[in-house]
Amino acid sequence: MSGASAEGPGGPSAEASVEASVEASGERAVAAGRDIGQVATGDFVTQIGRATVLPAEALTLGAASGPVRYLPGRTAQFVGRERELALLDEAFEAPGGVVVHAVHGLGGVGKSTLAAQWAATRVADLNPVWWITAESPAQLDAGLADLGRALQPTLAGTLPDAALRERTLQWLSTHDGWLLVLDNVTDPADIRPLLARAANGRFLVTTRRSATSWRGLARTLDLDVLPLGEAVELFTRVYEGASDGVEELCAELGCLPLAIDQAAAYCREAGITPGAYLDLLARYPAALYAAGPEGGDAERTIARIWRVTLNRLTDTPLAERVLRIIAWWAPEGIPRRYLEMPGRNSLEITEAIRRLAAHSVITLRDGTLSVHRLVQAVARTPQPTDGPLMGDMIGVYRRMAVMLLGMEEDRWSQGPDGNDLGGLLGAEGRVWATHVEALAAWYPRNEDTEETAELFVTAGSQLGVHGFTRRAMVLCERAVDAALHACGPDDELTWFARRQLGQICSLHGDFERARELLTQVLDDCERLLGPEHEDTIQARDELAMTLENADRRRSFLARLDAQGAEPVLGGTRPDTSAPTNPDDRSAGASRPARLDVDGAASEPGPVDPEDAMELIELAFQASDDGETERAVTLIGNAVTQSRRAFGDASGITILARAIQVMLLRKAGDHERADELAAGVSDDSSRVLGDAEIARIVRLGVAGLTPDKPS
């Protein structure tokens, strides 16, 4: 290589002159006019730009040299869950092979807490015991890389994460006796490759995805909310204050562990009582759902978990709409047909329900939906992150909830003969009434409409007919207020609601209030319609009937008194075994033309609710006429008819059973009467509570009156 000298001023620079004159000669010669780094020539060259020397440990996949553990801190507030912990113990006892168990449930139900508590008990038996947040594939990969660094610390900072992840998978596939906790798995598909590679260990998964998402992949454990007693214990451990009002608050929060922990921490930090928190929750729900403890995880609040769940359902917009509609109904036993909404086909609705169930937002059982009451509460409440239009949209969903309940009433209210009594008195109507009752509790009073007033009064009447008179009075009072707000004091709907309230008060035994209400209805009708108008005449008749019912109640109690004094009339004990069988018929008895009274219970097909009530009245009449055997036959059929028409949990059915006990005693069949009496009393207390009809039932089955000691 040779070079020439640079030219004088005005010519090319000296450097350019040198480059221009660079030459190379000879086989595989290289010429360079400047520093170009490494140059290699020849037939074969191995060039290393950067070398990393691996430690000897990197050449093997030996057993862990010591305990390898990573778990979130165990909470001192962990309570209960003995059954679930025992089920996990049992599930992971199987020797050999891979064991995968998924704990699934609603967000905030305590899946991660349970997993951490159980995993901490296994550190003496398993190694590694390692926790990985696996909400996304990226998080899963990062967690596996972290485990690789923990297994072989000398590789930390030496290998990239992708290489560490691969070494971890190789290690897991060649060793057993380890436990990985995969927390908050969003999609089972994200962990399938890991499960396929690691065939000899233990996986505990937490997820909101329902059991069907894990079929063929893992055994599942459905985690429910805490029992009330354990929820109270959790609250008091965090709160460390007086326990007054704790049960009520825990019940309002649906015993959801995260909500209870969040509320207890707030009460402790703010120095307020559980009752004060309940009051704040009623007035400022959105703020309290988002209020986590100071220094706590901002992602672990009810509001945040709710938003995460909805974000996962954005590809099915109808799912959120369905959820925000059912938020206004009772949390349990929502028939799927209630969601048959205009403009949506059955596939769209089914898909929305399926997505909600798959993410553990709702539970499906026997054709009905259930949703946690706290999920409902959050769904009814605009959150700060929802945007300015959400308040208006929630109003739309609320009105849709009203519309769909109205459509359902139209479906069941028409019986086979074209009247609405069959639906009103049947089990379907009673279920419907519970959802209207829930709607009334949350619907803003200043937004009541004629439609809501009509729903409230119909549902109140329904509850009253079935003996739930205290609840019926509350709902009918709400109906009166709604009608006054929407229609004014002189509207026909307002009169009707007030009239129904008066009738319910009469059923409840509050005849004085019933008289006042029905007198007001009569006065309004006479003032606005005149004394001879048909509505005025009806109001007059109903007032008279109420006064008559007060007399009939006194007469009924007198019958009970006579029954207690004369258990066997006429000194004979008729054979009552056959007539009490609903499939047997009494021959030759007189009966109304419209009803085969003695054989009615054996007739197949639909049951007319009026028939059951008529049988009860006829049984009393036969008893008064001295036809004791026939009275027992009639009441036995009435019980069967009532069960078919109204269901077991109806006040009418329970009343019929109580009358059966009374008439059996009157017939002298004390053994059979005593056998039935205990069940009637228990069911009366459970179903009817302290309603007037429950009091009458209990007196009747005991053969007592208010004047006799119990």
Task: Give pLDDT tens digits for 127-183.
Answer: 999 999 999 999 999 999 999 999 888 777 778 889 889 999 999 988 888 999 999
Distance CA 179, CA 99 (A): 10
Tally Cβ neighbours within 10 Å of residue 523: 12
pLDDT category at 508 given cuts 50, 70, 90 is confident
> Which of 593, 563, 570 minimizes the C-alpha distance to 660?
563
pLDDT category at 57 given cuts 50, 70, 90 is low
Establish whether the linkage from the previous residue to 335 is cis, with ω within 30° of 0. Answer: no
Distance CA 210, CA 104 (A): 6
Is the Cβ–Cβ distance between 482 and 445 less than 8 Å? yes
Mean pLDDT of 646-668: 81
Is the Cβ–Cβ distance between 429 and 412 less than 8 Å? yes
Distance CA 381, CA 376 (A): 9
What was the pLDDT predicted at 559?
Answer: 54
Mean pLDDT of 492-512: 87
Greater confidence, 370 or 653?
Answer: 370
Domains assigned to the chain: 67-222 (3.40.50.300), 228-283 (no CATH), 303-396 (1.10.10), 414-549 (1.25.40.10), 600-702 (1.25.40.10)
Is the Cβ–Cβ distance between 86 and 114 less than 8 Å? no
pLDDT category at 604 given cuts 50, 70, 90 is very low
What was the pLDDT predicted at 84?
Answer: 94
What was the pLDDT predicted at 482?
Answer: 97
Question: Under the phi-then-psi rule, with left for phi > 0, alpha for psi from -120 to 50, and beta for the rest, what region is 139?
Answer: alpha
pLDDT category at 580 given cuts 50, 70, 90 is very low
330-349 tens-digit pLDDT: 999 999 999 998 888 999 99
Distance CA 595, CA 510 (A): 33
Distance CA 319, CA 325 (A): 10
Type of residue numbered 233: E
Distance CA 121, CA 392 (A): 50
Q: Which two tokens stand for residue 467?
A: 């003996």
Greater confidence, 566 or 436?
Answer: 436
Question: What burial class does residue 69 get, using C-beta atoms within 10 Å of its C-beta: 0-12 exposed, 13-18 middle, 19+ buried?
Answer: middle
Question: Under the phi-then-psi rule, with left for phi > 0, alpha for psi from -120 to 50, and beta for the rest, what region is 42?
Answer: left
pTM of this prediction exceeds 0.85: no
pLDDT category at 588 given cuts 50, 70, 90 is very low
Tally Cβ neighbours within 10 Å of residue 134: 27
Greater confidence, 310 or 55?
Answer: 310
211-223 tens-digit pLDDT: 888 988 888 999 9
> Which of 384, 360, 371, 383 minimizes the C-alpha distance to 325?
371
In 3-state terms the chain splits into helix, strand, coil percentages (rounded to 5) of 55, 5, 35
Distance CA 311, CA 15 (A): 65
58-75 tens-digit pLDDT: 656 667 778 889 998 766
pLDDT category at 301 given cuts 50, 70, 90 is confident
Mean pLDDT of 188-217: 90
- Contacts of residue 216, defined as CB under 8 A and 6 or more positions apart, other chains included, come to none
273-287 tens-digit pLDDT: 999 999 999 888 888
